Amino acid sequence: MKKIVIAATLFSVACLLVVAQTKKPVQKTADSPAASIERGRGVYQRECLSCHQADGGGVPHMNPPLAGSTDVVGVDKKKIIGIVLHGMTDRIPLDDEYYSNNMASHANLTNQQIADVLSFVRNSFGNKADVVTLAEVAAVRVGKKK
Amino acid sequence: MIKRCIFLFIVTTVSFFVRANDNTYNDSTINAGLKLPKGFVAIKAANSIGQARHIAITSNGIVYVKSAKAINGKATYVLKDVDGNGNLSIVSSFDNKGGTGVAIKGGYLYTSTNNDIYRYKLNKNNEIVDTNAAEKIVEGLINRGEHNTKSIVLDNVGNIYVNIGAYSNSCQEKDRVRGSKGMSPCPILDSAGGIWMFKADKLHQTYKDGIRYATGLRNIVGLDWNQQTNSLFVMQHGRDQLFQNWPQYFDSVQGAELPAECMYELHKGSNCGWPYIYYNHLIHKKIVAPEYGGDGKIEGGKEYQEPLMVFPGHLAPNALLFYTGNQFPDKYKNGAFIAFHGSWNRAPLPQAGYMVAFVPFKNGKPLGEWEVFADGFSGKEVVTSTRGAAHRPCGLAQGPDGSLYVTDDSKGTIYKISFTGN
Protein backbone atom coordinates (compact mmCIF):
# COMPACT_ATOMS: atom_id res chain seq x y z
CA MET A 1 0.00 0.00 0.00
CA LYS A 2 2.71 2.43 1.11
CA LYS A 3 4.66 1.69 -2.03
CA ILE A 4 1.67 2.46 -4.16
CA VAL A 5 1.17 5.80 -2.46
CA ILE A 6 4.82 6.72 -2.87
CA ALA A 7 4.79 5.64 -6.47
CA ALA A 8 1.63 7.61 -7.13
CA THR A 9 3.10 10.67 -5.46
CA LEU A 10 6.32 10.39 -7.41
CA PHE A 11 4.37 9.94 -10.60
CA SER A 12 2.27 13.05 -10.01
CA VAL A 13 5.33 15.09 -9.06
CA ALA A 14 7.02 13.93 -12.23
CA CYS A 15 3.94 14.83 -14.23
CA LEU A 16 3.89 18.29 -12.69
CA LEU A 17 7.54 18.80 -13.49
CA VAL A 18 7.01 17.76 -17.07
CA VAL A 19 3.98 20.01 -17.40
CA ALA A 20 5.85 22.91 -15.82
CA GLN A 21 8.84 22.37 -18.07
CA THR A 22 6.86 22.07 -21.25
CA LYS A 23 4.56 24.93 -20.31
CA LYS A 24 7.21 27.50 -19.48
CA PRO A 25 8.94 27.93 -22.82
CA VAL A 26 5.60 27.98 -24.59
CA GLN A 27 4.18 30.82 -22.49
CA LYS A 28 7.27 32.84 -21.67
CA THR A 29 10.08 32.84 -24.14
CA ALA A 30 12.82 35.23 -23.10
CA ASP A 31 11.31 38.05 -25.10
CA SER A 32 7.62 37.26 -24.71
CA PRO A 33 5.54 40.15 -23.35
CA ALA A 34 4.55 38.12 -20.27
CA ALA A 35 8.16 37.34 -19.40
CA SER A 36 9.20 40.96 -19.83
CA ILE A 37 6.37 42.16 -17.57
CA GLU A 38 7.29 39.57 -14.97
CA ARG A 39 10.95 40.63 -14.94
CA GLY A 40 9.79 44.23 -14.83
CA ARG A 41 8.04 43.57 -11.52
CA GLY A 42 11.41 42.87 -9.89
CA VAL A 43 12.97 45.99 -11.40
CA TYR A 44 10.00 48.05 -10.19
CA GLN A 45 10.33 46.75 -6.63
CA ARG A 46 14.02 47.56 -6.52
CA GLU A 47 14.12 50.85 -8.43
CA CYS A 48 10.74 52.54 -8.40
CA LEU A 49 8.51 51.26 -5.60
CA SER A 50 9.91 53.51 -2.88
CA CYS A 51 8.68 56.64 -4.66
CA HIS A 52 5.79 55.41 -6.79
CA GLN A 53 4.56 53.02 -4.03
CA ALA A 54 3.44 49.40 -4.02
CA ASP A 55 0.12 50.17 -5.71
CA GLY A 56 1.61 52.58 -8.25
CA GLY A 57 -0.34 55.30 -6.49
CA GLY A 58 2.59 57.65 -5.89
CA VAL A 59 2.73 60.10 -2.98
CA PRO A 60 0.28 63.01 -3.07
CA HIS A 61 1.91 66.25 -4.33
CA MET A 62 5.32 64.63 -4.25
CA ASN A 63 5.70 61.62 -6.56
CA PRO A 64 3.10 61.14 -9.29
CA PRO A 65 0.94 58.03 -9.59
CA LEU A 66 1.80 55.65 -12.41
CA ALA A 67 -1.61 54.00 -11.95
CA GLY A 68 -4.00 55.73 -14.31
CA SER A 69 -1.36 58.14 -15.65
CA THR A 70 -2.04 59.33 -19.19
CA ASP A 71 1.67 59.39 -20.04
CA VAL A 72 2.36 55.89 -18.69
CA VAL A 73 -0.14 54.19 -20.99
CA GLY A 74 0.40 56.74 -23.78
CA VAL A 75 1.06 55.82 -27.40
CA ASP A 76 4.28 57.85 -27.40
CA LYS A 77 6.53 55.55 -25.40
CA LYS A 78 9.60 57.70 -26.07
CA LYS A 79 8.47 60.08 -23.37
CA ILE A 80 8.42 57.59 -20.51
CA ILE A 81 11.57 55.86 -21.75
CA GLY A 82 13.25 59.27 -21.63
CA ILE A 83 11.97 59.89 -18.09
CA VAL A 84 13.48 56.64 -16.81
CA LEU A 85 16.78 57.25 -18.66
CA HIS A 86 17.24 60.91 -17.77
CA GLY A 87 15.09 61.39 -14.68
CA MET A 88 12.55 64.19 -14.39
CA THR A 89 12.56 67.55 -12.64
CA ASP A 90 10.26 69.37 -15.03
CA ARG A 91 7.64 70.51 -12.55
CA ILE A 92 5.01 70.48 -15.24
CA PRO A 93 1.49 69.37 -14.39
CA LEU A 94 0.98 65.62 -14.83
CA ASP A 95 -2.72 64.90 -15.25
CA ASP A 96 -3.34 68.39 -13.78
CA GLU A 97 -1.26 67.98 -10.61
CA TYR A 98 2.22 69.23 -9.73
CA TYR A 99 4.75 67.00 -8.00
CA SER A 100 7.60 68.40 -5.93
CA ASN A 101 10.18 65.64 -5.80
CA ASN A 102 13.10 64.97 -8.12
CA MET A 103 13.06 61.75 -10.09
CA ALA A 104 16.61 60.46 -10.50
CA SER A 105 18.03 59.26 -13.78
CA HIS A 106 18.07 55.48 -14.06
CA ALA A 107 20.53 55.36 -16.96
CA ASN A 108 22.49 52.67 -15.10
CA LEU A 109 19.72 50.18 -15.90
CA THR A 110 20.18 48.10 -19.06
CA ASN A 111 17.91 48.71 -22.05
CA GLN A 112 16.28 45.37 -21.30
CA GLN A 113 15.59 46.33 -17.67
CA ILE A 114 14.02 49.61 -18.79
CA ALA A 115 11.87 47.83 -21.37
CA ASP A 116 10.83 45.34 -18.71
CA VAL A 117 9.96 47.86 -16.00
CA LEU A 118 7.99 50.06 -18.37
CA SER A 119 6.16 47.03 -19.74
CA PHE A 120 5.34 46.18 -16.13
CA VAL A 121 3.98 49.62 -15.22
CA ARG A 122 1.99 49.78 -18.47
CA ASN A 123 0.32 46.51 -17.45
CA SER A 124 -0.11 46.88 -13.69
CA PHE A 125 -2.15 48.89 -11.18
CA GLY A 126 -5.11 48.79 -13.56
CA ASN A 127 -3.05 50.06 -16.53
CA LYS A 128 -3.31 48.25 -19.86
CA ALA A 129 -1.11 49.02 -22.85
CA ASP A 130 1.28 47.26 -25.22
CA VAL A 131 4.75 46.48 -23.94
CA VAL A 132 7.92 48.49 -24.45
CA THR A 133 10.54 46.66 -26.50
CA LEU A 134 14.29 46.53 -26.26
CA ALA A 135 14.56 48.25 -29.65
CA GLU A 136 12.35 51.13 -28.53
CA VAL A 137 14.54 51.78 -25.49
CA ALA A 138 17.74 51.46 -27.53
CA ALA A 139 16.44 54.04 -30.01
CA VAL A 140 15.84 56.62 -27.28
CA ARG A 141 19.13 55.95 -25.51
CA VAL A 142 21.15 56.38 -28.71
CA GLY A 143 19.12 59.34 -29.86
CA LYS A 144 19.63 61.26 -26.64
CA LYS A 145 23.00 60.07 -25.48
CA LYS A 146 24.96 62.89 -23.92
CA MET B 1 -52.30 50.18 3.07
CA ILE B 2 -50.97 46.93 4.45
CA LYS B 3 -48.51 46.84 1.61
CA ARG B 4 -47.40 50.31 2.48
CA CYS B 5 -46.95 49.38 6.16
CA ILE B 6 -44.87 46.38 5.27
CA PHE B 7 -42.77 48.52 2.92
CA LEU B 8 -42.18 51.13 5.62
CA PHE B 9 -41.40 48.43 8.14
CA ILE B 10 -38.79 46.96 5.82
CA VAL B 11 -37.26 50.36 5.05
CA THR B 12 -36.96 51.32 8.71
CA THR B 13 -35.60 47.95 9.73
CA VAL B 14 -33.06 47.97 6.93
CA SER B 15 -31.93 51.51 7.65
CA PHE B 16 -31.68 50.64 11.33
CA PHE B 17 -29.36 47.76 10.54
CA VAL B 18 -27.35 49.83 8.13
CA ARG B 19 -26.87 52.43 10.82
CA ALA B 20 -26.05 49.86 13.47
CA ASN B 21 -23.54 48.34 11.11
CA ASP B 22 -21.98 51.71 10.41
CA ASN B 23 -21.37 52.19 14.08
CA THR B 24 -20.02 48.75 14.70
CA TYR B 25 -17.66 48.54 11.79
CA ASN B 26 -16.60 52.11 11.46
CA ASP B 27 -16.50 54.17 14.63
CA SER B 28 -15.65 57.31 12.67
CA THR B 29 -18.50 59.00 14.50
CA ILE B 30 -16.74 58.58 17.85
CA ASN B 31 -14.09 61.23 18.36
CA ALA B 32 -13.99 61.83 14.62
CA GLY B 33 -12.32 58.42 14.23
CA LEU B 34 -9.33 59.35 16.41
CA LYS B 35 -7.80 57.33 19.23
CA LEU B 36 -7.10 59.69 22.13
CA PRO B 37 -5.93 59.42 25.74
CA LYS B 38 -8.69 59.00 28.33
CA GLY B 39 -10.71 62.12 28.97
CA PHE B 40 -10.14 63.70 25.55
CA VAL B 41 -12.74 64.15 22.83
CA ALA B 42 -12.46 65.20 19.21
CA ILE B 43 -14.72 66.50 16.49
CA LYS B 44 -14.23 67.38 12.85
CA ALA B 45 -14.71 71.11 13.24
CA ALA B 46 -14.53 71.69 9.48
CA ASN B 47 -14.13 69.73 6.27
CA SER B 48 -12.84 70.49 2.79
CA ILE B 49 -10.79 73.54 3.76
CA GLY B 50 -8.64 73.27 0.63
CA GLN B 51 -5.37 71.46 1.26
CA ALA B 52 -5.12 72.86 4.80
CA ARG B 53 -1.47 73.24 5.77
CA HIS B 54 -0.68 75.46 8.76
CA ILE B 55 -3.22 77.14 11.03
CA ALA B 56 -3.17 80.08 13.44
CA ILE B 57 -5.87 81.17 15.88
CA THR B 58 -6.28 84.62 17.42
CA SER B 59 -7.03 85.25 21.10
CA ASN B 60 -10.68 85.86 20.19
CA GLY B 61 -11.03 82.65 18.20
CA ILE B 62 -10.58 83.70 14.57
CA VAL B 63 -9.03 80.79 12.71
CA TYR B 64 -6.68 81.43 9.77
CA VAL B 65 -5.71 78.49 7.55
CA LYS B 66 -3.30 78.40 4.60
CA SER B 67 -3.98 75.93 1.80
CA ALA B 68 -1.18 74.40 -0.28
CA LYS B 69 -3.19 75.16 -3.38
CA ALA B 70 -5.71 77.85 -4.22
CA ILE B 71 -9.13 76.26 -4.65
CA ASN B 72 -11.41 78.44 -6.81
CA GLY B 73 -8.75 81.12 -6.53
CA LYS B 74 -8.62 81.11 -2.74
CA ALA B 75 -5.79 79.81 -0.57
CA THR B 76 -6.22 81.62 2.76
CA TYR B 77 -9.32 80.79 4.80
CA VAL B 78 -10.88 82.66 7.70
CA LEU B 79 -13.10 80.53 9.93
CA LYS B 80 -15.08 81.06 13.08
CA ASP B 81 -17.13 79.03 15.53
CA VAL B 82 -20.24 81.07 14.80
CA ASP B 83 -22.72 78.94 16.76
CA GLY B 84 -20.46 78.22 19.69
CA ASN B 85 -20.82 74.46 19.18
CA GLY B 86 -17.26 73.86 18.04
CA ASN B 87 -18.01 73.68 14.33
CA LEU B 88 -16.06 76.17 12.26
CA SER B 89 -17.73 78.00 9.39
CA ILE B 90 -15.89 79.80 6.62
CA VAL B 91 -16.26 83.54 7.16
CA SER B 92 -14.25 84.45 4.09
CA SER B 93 -11.50 83.17 1.83
CA PHE B 94 -9.08 85.07 -0.39
CA ASP B 95 -5.54 85.03 -1.85
CA ASN B 96 -4.87 83.13 -5.07
CA LYS B 97 -1.41 81.87 -4.05
CA GLY B 98 -1.07 78.53 -2.26
CA GLY B 99 1.48 77.98 0.49
CA THR B 100 2.06 76.59 3.96
CA GLY B 101 2.94 79.23 6.54
CA VAL B 102 0.55 81.27 8.64
CA ALA B 103 1.26 83.15 11.88
CA ILE B 104 -0.24 85.93 13.98
CA LYS B 105 1.87 88.48 15.82
CA GLY B 106 1.69 92.12 16.86
CA GLY B 107 -1.51 92.99 15.02
CA TYR B 108 -0.56 91.31 11.75
CA LEU B 109 -1.36 88.06 9.98
CA TYR B 110 1.69 86.60 8.22
CA THR B 111 1.36 84.06 5.40
CA SER B 112 3.88 82.40 3.11
CA THR B 113 3.86 80.98 -0.40
CA ASN B 114 6.68 78.72 -1.55
CA ASN B 115 8.67 81.84 -2.56
CA ASP B 116 7.58 84.82 -0.50
CA ILE B 117 6.24 86.03 2.86
CA TYR B 118 3.32 88.46 3.14
CA ARG B 119 1.56 90.23 5.96
CA TYR B 120 -1.89 91.74 6.44
CA LYS B 121 -2.83 94.35 9.01
CA LEU B 122 -5.44 93.19 11.55
CA ASN B 123 -7.98 95.49 13.23
CA LYS B 124 -8.64 95.42 16.97
CA ASN B 125 -10.98 92.45 16.49
CA ASN B 126 -8.17 90.53 14.77
CA GLU B 127 -9.93 90.78 11.41
CA ILE B 128 -7.96 91.56 8.26
CA VAL B 129 -8.40 95.25 7.46
CA ASP B 130 -8.05 94.81 3.71
CA THR B 131 -7.36 91.45 2.08
CA ASN B 132 -6.19 93.31 -1.05
CA ALA B 133 -3.52 95.18 0.89
CA ALA B 134 -1.02 92.38 1.43
CA GLU B 135 2.49 93.68 2.13
CA LYS B 136 5.29 91.55 0.72
CA ILE B 137 7.96 91.46 3.40
CA VAL B 138 10.29 88.77 1.98
CA GLU B 139 10.64 87.74 -1.65
CA GLY B 140 12.65 85.55 -3.98
CA LEU B 141 13.36 82.62 -1.65
CA ILE B 142 14.60 79.51 -3.42
CA ASN B 143 11.88 77.25 -4.77
CA ARG B 144 13.03 74.32 -6.85
CA GLY B 145 10.16 72.01 -6.09
CA GLU B 146 11.82 69.64 -3.65
CA HIS B 147 11.33 70.80 -0.01
CA ASN B 148 10.00 74.13 -1.21
CA THR B 149 7.40 74.95 1.45
CA LYS B 150 8.18 77.92 3.69
CA SER B 151 7.17 77.57 7.34
CA ILE B 152 7.23 80.74 9.42
CA VAL B 153 7.30 81.75 13.10
CA LEU B 154 7.99 85.01 14.93
CA ASP B 155 9.91 85.85 18.11
CA ASN B 156 8.95 88.60 20.57
CA VAL B 157 11.36 91.25 19.32
CA GLY B 158 10.26 91.78 15.72
CA ASN B 159 11.95 89.00 13.80
CA ILE B 160 10.41 86.39 11.53
CA TYR B 161 12.07 83.02 10.94
CA VAL B 162 11.55 81.04 7.75
CA ASN B 163 12.57 77.56 6.75
CA ILE B 164 14.28 77.30 3.39
CA GLY B 165 14.44 73.57 2.70
CA ALA B 166 17.28 71.96 0.76
CA TYR B 167 16.34 71.21 -2.86
CA SER B 168 18.05 67.86 -2.50
CA ASN B 169 17.92 64.67 -0.46
CA SER B 170 21.54 64.47 0.60
CA CYS B 171 23.40 67.04 -1.53
CA GLN B 172 24.54 64.40 -4.00
CA GLU B 173 26.14 65.39 -7.30
CA LYS B 174 23.02 63.80 -8.81
CA ASP B 175 20.05 64.03 -6.48
CA ARG B 176 18.67 60.64 -5.42
CA VAL B 177 20.84 58.67 -7.87
CA ARG B 178 22.14 55.42 -6.41
CA GLY B 179 25.76 55.74 -5.35
CA SER B 180 26.14 59.40 -6.38
CA LYS B 181 28.68 61.19 -4.14
CA GLY B 182 27.95 64.17 -1.91
CA MET B 183 29.24 67.58 -2.97
CA SER B 184 31.87 68.95 -0.62
CA PRO B 185 31.28 71.51 0.73
CA CYS B 186 27.59 71.31 0.00
CA PRO B 187 26.81 74.40 -2.13
CA ILE B 188 23.10 74.25 -1.33
CA LEU B 189 23.74 75.46 2.22
CA ASP B 190 24.48 79.00 0.98
CA SER B 191 20.85 79.60 0.10
CA ALA B 192 18.87 76.69 1.60
CA GLY B 193 19.03 73.85 4.11
CA GLY B 194 18.51 76.14 7.07
CA ILE B 195 16.45 78.76 8.88
CA TRP B 196 16.73 82.39 7.78
CA MET B 197 15.82 85.39 9.96
CA PHE B 198 14.24 88.58 8.58
CA LYS B 199 12.67 91.71 10.04
CA ALA B 200 8.94 91.25 10.53
CA ASP B 201 8.10 94.84 9.53
CA LYS B 202 10.42 95.63 6.61
CA LEU B 203 9.06 95.35 3.08
CA HIS B 204 10.64 93.61 0.08
CA GLN B 205 13.52 91.95 1.87
CA THR B 206 15.61 89.43 -0.06
CA TYR B 207 18.43 87.06 0.96
CA LYS B 208 20.84 89.96 1.43
CA ASP B 209 18.57 91.55 4.06
CA GLY B 210 18.25 88.39 6.14
CA ILE B 211 20.72 86.26 8.02
CA ARG B 212 21.18 82.53 7.91
CA TYR B 213 20.15 81.89 11.52
CA ALA B 214 20.81 78.14 11.56
CA THR B 215 22.16 75.70 8.99
CA GLY B 216 22.62 71.98 8.34
CA LEU B 217 18.86 71.43 8.44
CA ARG B 218 17.58 69.46 5.46
CA ASN B 219 13.96 70.52 5.66
CA ILE B 220 11.86 71.94 8.47
CA VAL B 221 8.10 72.08 8.24
CA GLY B 222 7.19 72.06 11.96
CA LEU B 223 8.64 74.87 14.06
CA ASP B 224 7.55 76.96 17.05
CA TRP B 225 8.85 79.71 19.26
CA ASN B 226 9.08 78.39 22.82
CA GLN B 227 7.93 81.21 25.10
CA GLN B 228 9.46 79.60 28.18
CA THR B 229 12.97 79.33 26.79
CA ASN B 230 12.46 82.27 24.41
CA SER B 231 14.05 80.23 21.63
CA LEU B 232 13.26 78.53 18.34
CA PHE B 233 12.48 74.81 18.23
CA VAL B 234 12.27 72.87 14.98
CA MET B 235 11.52 69.37 13.73
CA GLN B 236 13.73 68.16 10.90
CA HIS B 237 12.62 65.87 8.09
CA GLY B 238 15.54 63.44 7.96
CA ARG B 239 17.09 62.25 4.70
CA ASP B 240 15.55 59.49 2.57
CA GLN B 241 16.69 56.41 0.68
CA LEU B 242 19.55 54.99 2.77
CA PHE B 243 18.51 51.53 1.64
CA GLN B 244 17.52 52.36 -1.95
CA ASN B 245 20.67 54.35 -2.74
CA TRP B 246 23.20 52.52 -0.52
CA PRO B 247 22.08 48.86 -0.43
CA GLN B 248 25.67 47.79 0.26
CA TYR B 249 25.39 49.35 3.75
CA PHE B 250 21.68 49.24 4.67
CA ASP B 251 18.88 46.70 4.47
CA SER B 252 15.24 47.60 3.94
CA VAL B 253 14.44 47.55 7.66
CA GLN B 254 17.30 49.96 8.43
CA GLY B 255 16.23 52.08 5.48
CA ALA B 256 12.71 52.34 6.91
CA GLU B 257 13.77 53.05 10.49
CA LEU B 258 16.75 55.36 9.82
CA PRO B 259 17.57 58.14 10.19
CA ALA B 260 15.76 59.72 13.15
CA GLU B 261 13.37 62.60 12.69
CA CYS B 262 15.03 65.07 15.10
CA MET B 263 13.87 67.90 17.33
CA TYR B 264 16.43 70.69 17.77
CA GLU B 265 16.54 73.85 19.83
CA LEU B 266 18.23 76.47 17.66
CA HIS B 267 20.28 79.54 18.40
CA LYS B 268 22.00 81.93 16.06
CA GLY B 269 24.76 79.94 14.36
CA SER B 270 23.37 76.47 15.11
CA ASN B 271 24.55 73.76 12.72
CA CYS B 272 22.75 70.42 12.75
CA GLY B 273 24.99 68.66 10.23
CA TRP B 274 22.92 67.93 7.13
CA PRO B 275 24.05 66.59 4.64
CA TYR B 276 27.29 65.35 6.19
CA ILE B 277 25.79 63.31 9.02
CA TYR B 278 22.49 61.78 10.04
CA TYR B 279 21.28 60.68 13.46
CA ASN B 280 20.83 56.99 14.33
CA HIS B 281 18.32 56.98 17.20
CA LEU B 282 18.71 53.23 17.79
CA ILE B 283 22.29 53.69 19.01
CA HIS B 284 22.06 57.44 19.77
CA LYS B 285 24.92 58.47 17.52
CA LYS B 286 25.70 60.87 14.73
CA ILE B 287 26.75 58.80 11.71
CA VAL B 288 28.62 59.94 8.60
CA ALA B 289 26.29 59.97 5.59
CA PRO B 290 27.15 57.38 2.92
CA GLU B 291 27.39 60.20 0.36
CA TYR B 292 30.32 61.54 2.42
CA GLY B 293 32.23 58.30 2.93
CA GLY B 294 30.09 56.70 5.62
CA ASP B 295 29.15 53.04 5.76
CA GLY B 296 26.34 53.22 8.29
CA LYS B 297 28.79 52.72 11.17
CA ILE B 298 31.45 55.44 11.08
CA GLU B 299 30.61 58.15 13.60
CA GLY B 300 31.22 61.78 12.87
CA GLY B 301 30.27 65.40 13.24
CA LYS B 302 31.18 66.16 16.86
CA GLU B 303 30.79 69.85 16.02
CA TYR B 304 27.14 69.41 15.06
CA GLN B 305 24.28 69.94 17.44
CA GLU B 306 22.64 67.07 19.32
CA PRO B 307 18.90 66.51 18.88
CA LEU B 308 16.70 67.00 21.95
CA MET B 309 14.24 64.29 20.98
CA VAL B 310 14.29 61.62 18.27
CA PHE B 311 11.53 59.80 16.41
CA PRO B 312 11.52 56.87 13.96
CA GLY B 313 12.49 57.57 10.36
CA HIS B 314 10.37 59.21 7.65
CA LEU B 315 7.33 60.01 9.83
CA ALA B 316 7.46 63.59 8.46
CA PRO B 317 6.89 66.06 11.32
CA ASN B 318 4.88 68.88 9.73
CA ALA B 319 3.91 70.93 12.77
CA LEU B 320 5.25 71.69 16.26
CA LEU B 321 3.31 73.44 19.00
CA PHE B 322 4.20 74.19 22.60
CA TYR B 323 1.04 73.92 24.66
CA THR B 324 0.46 76.90 26.92
CA GLY B 325 -3.25 76.42 27.61
CA ASN B 326 -5.01 75.58 30.84
CA GLN B 327 -7.60 73.15 29.53
CA PHE B 328 -5.46 69.99 29.28
CA PRO B 329 -4.12 68.17 32.38
CA ASP B 330 -0.93 69.55 33.98
CA LYS B 331 1.36 67.09 32.26
CA TYR B 332 0.70 68.81 28.92
CA LYS B 333 1.60 72.31 30.08
CA ASN B 334 4.58 73.69 28.11
CA GLY B 335 5.02 70.32 26.42
CA ALA B 336 5.37 69.83 22.67
CA PHE B 337 2.75 68.46 20.29
CA ILE B 338 4.05 67.27 16.94
CA ALA B 339 1.86 66.52 13.92
CA PHE B 340 3.32 63.74 11.79
CA HIS B 341 2.21 63.87 8.17
CA GLY B 342 3.07 60.16 7.72
CA SER B 343 5.73 58.44 5.67
CA TRP B 344 6.35 57.37 2.10
CA ASN B 345 9.95 56.16 2.34
CA ARG B 346 9.37 53.18 4.66
CA ALA B 347 8.44 50.83 1.78
CA PRO B 348 8.68 47.87 1.37
CA LEU B 349 7.69 48.00 5.06
CA PRO B 350 4.25 49.49 5.85
CA GLN B 351 4.07 53.29 6.05
CA ALA B 352 3.80 54.97 9.47
CA GLY B 353 3.09 58.26 11.18
CA TYR B 354 -0.27 59.93 10.43
CA MET B 355 -0.60 60.86 14.12
CA VAL B 356 0.01 63.61 16.66
CA ALA B 357 2.71 62.89 19.24
CA PHE B 358 3.41 64.55 22.57
CA VAL B 359 6.68 65.24 24.39
CA PRO B 360 6.43 66.37 28.02
CA PHE B 361 8.74 69.29 28.89
CA LYS B 362 10.07 70.66 32.15
CA ASN B 363 12.04 73.90 32.39
CA GLY B 364 12.39 74.02 28.62
CA LYS B 365 13.84 70.51 28.29
CA PRO B 366 12.09 67.28 27.27
CA LEU B 367 11.20 65.14 30.24
CA GLY B 368 11.15 61.45 29.40
CA GLU B 369 10.06 59.89 26.13
CA TRP B 370 7.59 60.91 23.45
CA GLU B 371 4.19 59.24 23.21
CA VAL B 372 1.39 59.00 20.67
CA PHE B 373 -1.31 61.53 21.56
CA ALA B 374 -3.84 61.28 18.73
CA ASP B 375 -3.83 58.41 16.25
CA GLY B 376 -6.10 57.00 13.60
CA PHE B 377 -6.01 59.85 11.06
CA SER B 378 -5.24 57.37 8.28
CA GLY B 379 -8.44 55.44 8.99
CA LYS B 380 -6.50 52.21 8.49
CA GLU B 381 -4.66 49.68 10.62
CA VAL B 382 -1.95 49.32 7.99
CA VAL B 383 -1.07 51.88 5.33
CA THR B 384 0.83 50.24 2.46
CA SER B 385 0.69 53.19 0.07
CA THR B 386 0.81 56.80 1.26
CA ARG B 387 -2.29 57.83 -0.68
CA GLY B 388 -4.25 55.20 1.26
CA ALA B 389 -4.15 57.41 4.37
CA ALA B 390 -7.51 59.16 4.59
CA HIS B 391 -6.19 62.16 6.54
CA ARG B 392 -2.64 63.46 7.01
CA PRO B 393 -1.92 65.74 10.00
CA CYS B 394 -0.13 68.88 8.88
CA GLY B 395 -0.81 71.88 11.14
CA LEU B 396 -1.39 72.56 14.84
CA ALA B 397 -2.85 75.49 16.75
CA GLN B 398 -4.17 76.17 20.21
CA GLY B 399 -7.61 77.74 20.55
CA PRO B 400 -8.37 80.46 23.12
CA ASP B 401 -10.12 77.85 25.30
CA GLY B 402 -7.03 75.62 25.26
CA SER B 403 -8.35 73.11 22.71
CA LEU B 404 -5.90 71.71 20.17
CA TYR B 405 -6.66 72.07 16.45
CA VAL B 406 -5.13 69.73 13.87
CA THR B 407 -5.33 70.34 10.12
CA ASP B 408 -5.21 67.67 7.42
CA ASP B 409 -3.94 68.62 3.95
CA SER B 410 -5.39 65.55 2.30
CA LYS B 411 -9.11 66.27 2.72
CA GLY B 412 -8.93 69.71 4.32
CA THR B 413 -10.35 68.47 7.62
CA ILE B 414 -9.82 70.50 10.79
CA TYR B 415 -10.00 68.51 13.99
CA LYS B 416 -10.69 70.05 17.38
CA ILE B 417 -9.40 68.04 20.33
CA SER B 418 -10.57 68.97 23.83
CA PHE B 419 -10.22 67.62 27.35
CA THR B 420 -13.44 66.90 29.20
CA GLY B 421 -12.14 64.47 31.81
CA ASN B 422 -14.95 62.00 31.12
Those of residues 80-139 in B touching chain A at CB distance below 8 A are none
Residue A23 pLDDT greater than 50, yes or no: no
Please tell me the predicted confidence (pLDDT) of residue B28.
Answer: 65
Query: B71 CB near a chain A CB, below 8 Å?
Result: no
pLDDT digits (tens, 9 = 90+) for B227-266: 999 999 999 999 999 999 999 999 999 999 999 999 999 9
Band (pLDDT 50/70/90 cuts) for residue A30 is low
Please tell me the predicted confidence (pLDDT) of residue A29.
Answer: 59
H or E element, residue A18? helix A2-27
* Domains of chain A, each with CATH number or no CATH: 26-145 (1.10.760.10)
Dump the DSSP string for B349-415. SPB---EEEEE-EETTEE-S--EEEEB-TTSSS-BSSGGG-S--EEEEEE-TTS-EEEEETTT--EE
Q: What is the mean pLDDT of residues B383-393?
A: 96
pLDDT digits (tens, 9 = 90+) for B208-225: 999 999 999 999 999 999
Dump the DSSP string for A61-123. TTB--STT-TTTT-S-HHHHHHHHHH-B-----BTTB---SPBPP-TTS-HHHHHHHHHHHHT
- Residue type, position B270, single letter: S
In this complex, which of A55, A63, A104 lies closest to B174 when CB atoms are compared? A104
Q: Write down the architecture of domain B2-419 according to CATH.
A: 6 Propeller (2.120)
pLDDT digits (tens, 9 = 90+) for B334-378: 999 999 999 999 999 999 999 999 999 999 999 999 999 999 999
Q: How many C-beta neighbours within 10 Å does residue B348 have?
A: 15
The span from the CA of B252 to the CA of B242, in Å, is 9
Query: A54 CB near a chain B CB, below 8 Å?
Result: yes
Inter-chain residue contact B178 with A108, CB threshold 8 Å: yes
Cα torsion B287, B288, B291, B294: sign: negative
Band (pLDDT 50/70/90 cuts) for residue B95 is very high
Q: What is the mean pLDDT of residues A44-65?
A: 96
Please tell me the predicted confidence (pLDDT) of residue A31.
Answer: 76
Give residues with Cβ within 8 angstroms of A11, minimum separation 6: none
Residue A14 pLDDT greater than 60, yes or no: no
Please tell me the predicted confidence (pLDDT) of residue A90.
Answer: 86
Q: Are B25 and B66 in contact (CB under 8 A)?
A: no
Band (pLDDT 50/70/90 cuts) for residue B422 is confident
Tell me which chain B residues have a C-beta less than 8 angstroms from the C-beta of A91: 145
Tell me which chain B residues have a C-beta less than 8 angstroms from the C-beta of A105: 174, 177
Residue B25 is given by DSSP the state: H
Residue A67 pLDDT greater than 70, yes or no: yes
Inter-chain residue contact A103 with B148, CB threshold 8 Å: no
Inter-chain residue contact B387 with A89, CB threshold 8 Å: no
> Nearest CA of chain B to the CA of A83: how many Å?
14
Please tell me the predicted confidence (pLDDT) of residue A108.
Answer: 94
Query: A57 CB near a chain B CB, below 8 Å?
Result: yes
Residue B218 is given by DSSP the state: S
Structure-model confidence comparison of residues B200 and A91, the more confident one: B200
What pTM value is reported for the model? 0.90
Give residues with Cβ within 8 angstroms of B13, minimum separation 6: none
pLDDT digits (tens, 9 = 90+) for A74-128: 999 999 999 999 999 988 889 988 999 999 999 999 999 999 999 999 999 999 9
Band (pLDDT 50/70/90 cuts) for residue B21 is very low
pLDDT digits (tens, 9 = 90+) for B68-87: 999 999 999 999 999 999 99
Closest C-alpha to B291, from B241, B251, B238, B252: B241
Band (pLDDT 50/70/90 cuts) for residue B382 is very high
Residue of B nearest to A62 (CA): B146
Structure-model confidence comparison of residues A47 and A145, the more confident one: A47
How large is the ipTM?
0.86
Q: Chain-centre distance of CA B271, in angstroms?
A: 21
> Nearest CA of chain A to the CA of B270: how many Å?
27
